[in-house]
Amino acid sequence: MARIANALPYAFDFDPARTALIVIDMQRDFIENGGFGEALGNDVRPLQAIVPRVARLIETARGAGLAVIHTRECHAPDLSDCPPAKRLRGKPSARIGDDGPMGRILIAGEPGADIVPELRPLPGETVIDKPGKGAFYATPLMEVLTGLGITTLLFAGVTTEVCVQTTMREANDRGFEALLVEDATESYFPEFKSATLAMIRAQGAIVGWTATTDEIRTALDG
C-alpha cells in the first residue's frame, strides 16, 4: 500500500497495483487555438499551461507501473452519437461536426480530436472515445477497469468542472476511490477549478480526494 499523507481532506491510502491514472480529454480541440474550446468563447492558454505537468504525472504513473487510460470526447462522423441537445446548445462560433482548422470539430479521427502530441498514449494504453462529458457513459470504461482489477482512480485532464468532475462523480457512484490531481487539471474558469476542488473534498471526501503530483510521487517512491 502507498499513502499520500497530505491529501485533502485526509490521508489517502491506495494499492498501486489496483490504481489507474485516467487522463481526461487532453485533446487539441480543447487545448489549441481553432478547436471546440475556443469556439465556445474560451481562452485556451490556461489549459496549454498544464501540458508539461500532465506529462510529468503520466511519466510518474508509468514509472510506478500504474495503468494509464486516456479519454477523448468525440463523436462519430455521422453525428449519430451526438444528441441535438448537445450540438445545438448555445451560440458557439463553430458547432460539433463543423469544419475548422483542425478538421471537423470533435469528430473521431480528425486532427483536433487527437490527444496533444506531448501526451501521446503509448502502444498498449487504453484510449476511450466518449460521446458524453462523463467517461463511463456509453463507453466500455467500466469493463476495462473491472478487467484490470482496478479499485482506485487518479484523475487529471480538462476541464476540471466539466468532463473531469463528471467522470469522477460517475466513478464515485460505481464504488471507486478517486483522487483529483490538483496541478494536472485545469478549467477555462479559475473560480470553477477552485470550487470543484473544494466540493470534491468537502463533507469528508464526499466525491473523493485531491493531492499534487509531487505528493503522489513521494507516496509512490516510499
Q: What residues numbered 136-175 form the site for ligand TIU, per CB under 6 A? A: 158-159, 162-163
214 in active site? no
Beta carbon nearer to ligand TIU, 14 or 188: 188
Q: Of 74, 130, 133, 193, which residue is the catalytic one?
A: 130
Footprint (CB under 6 A) of ligand TIU, residues 183-202: 188
Q: Which residue is nearest to ligand TIU (CB)?
A: 163
Q: Please choose, from the candidates 208, 204, 156, 188, the residue with its C-alpha nearest in 3D space to the C-alpha of residue 44.
A: 188
Whether a cis peptide bond, with omega within 30° of 0, leads into 159 is yes
Residue 130 among the catalytic residues: yes
Find out whether 59 and 220 touch, Cβ atoms under 8 Å.
no
Each residue 71-110 as x (binds ligand TIU by CB under 6 A) or -, in order, gives --x-------------------------------------
- CB of 208 vs ligand TIU, minimal distance in Å: 17
| Residue 82 among the catalytic residues | no
State the cell numbers at 187.
Answer: 478549467
Q: Is 70 exposed, middle or buried (0-12, 13-18, 19+ CB in 10 A)?
A: buried
Tell me the CA distances in angstroms from 69 to 7, 42, 59, 196, one per residue in order. 22, 26, 13, 22
Q: Which residues are catalytic?
A: 25, 130, 163
Residues within the interface to ligand TIU (CB under 6 A): 25, 30, 40, 73, 133, 158-159, 162-163, 188
